[in-house]
Structure 1
Amino acid sequence: MRVLAMALLLALSGGAHAATTATPFGLWQNPKGTLLVRTHSCGPLLCGNIVWAGPKAIADAREAGVKSLVGTELLSDYRANGRGRWTGQVYVPDQGRRFYSTIELESANSLRISGCILGGLICKHQEWTRR
């Protein structure tokens, strides 16, 4: 029983270590599967550009005046402000606007992106998946 408890403790601590050493850099898919965004460093900050968009996302963005969705910087100027958390701006193409935003690395393969208005009083979030 003691060996089982020790094995469980080691497994849990190893998983926690993996989550804390993960980075938000890579390829991420939104919940609806309509966008793929590649996050990367832009100087000391984090940014993310759309590398693929589905037909509906492209059509919605065109209605808002975005001619070419692929290549658009969706995530800009995110600054690390703690373990697994960044603040910056998210661009919402179908609204043609940028909003205050936070990114939190929930796990090695899950990214929570929040966008807020009214100084952070009203926020919406999405859980994105690493690809």
Structure 2
Amino acid sequence: MIGRVVLSGAALLLACGVAMADPIEGNWKTESGATAQIAPCGGSYCITLKSGKHAGKKIGTFQAAGGSKYTGKITDPANDKTYSGKGTLSGNSLKMGGCVLGGLICRNQTWSRL
């Protein structure tokens, strides 16, 4: 009887942990067609390419900024340059951007949730 209660409690805690995942977490299709994974890491969210030419490369770290917005650093995997980054989540789309010179020059992409 006690074993069932403990097992039920563990299952409930596991289900609550999954339900409380941040909306940005998961797998995303980039504009180039590669798959990127966004997962929690040390109080932030790490972005790692899972497929494509640069598979396995960590390309960014974001923190939640409220209102479906995220800020942090994003790295161009082709040249390893790191930029100030931002992301805005809207349904199953994530608009990502990286800027230099205080936001004077920016590049944006829209990713789709897989």
After TM superposition, is the score higher than 0.5? yes
Q: Does 1:126 align with 2:109?
A: yes
Q: Which amino acid aligns with 1:44?
A: G
Question: Which digits, 9 at most, give the CA deviation of each residue in 1:97-127, with x for residues without a partner?
Answer: 11100011021x1000001010112111111
After TM superposition, the runs of 4+ consecutive aligned structure 1 residues lying more than 4 A away are none
Q: 2:49 is matched with which residue?
A: 50
Secondary structure of the corresponding residue to residue 110 of structure 2: strand
Q: Partner of 2:63 in structure 1?
A: 79
Residue of structure 2 in register with 1:90 after alignment? 74
Question: RCO greater where, 1 or 2, for CA within 8 Å and sep 6 or more?
Answer: 1
Give 2:87's match in structure 1, choosing from 100, 103, 118.
Answer: 103
> Unpaired segments of 5 or more residues in structure 2?
1-20
Per the normalisation by structure 1, the TM-score is 0.67
Look up the SS of the partner of 2:109 in the other structure. Answer: strand
1:22 CA drift (Å) = 6.8
CA–CA separation in structure 2 for the residues paired with 1:38 and 1:123: 23
1:31 match: secondary structure: coil
For structure 1, list consecutive stretches of 5 or more residues without a partner in the other structure: 1-20, 59-68
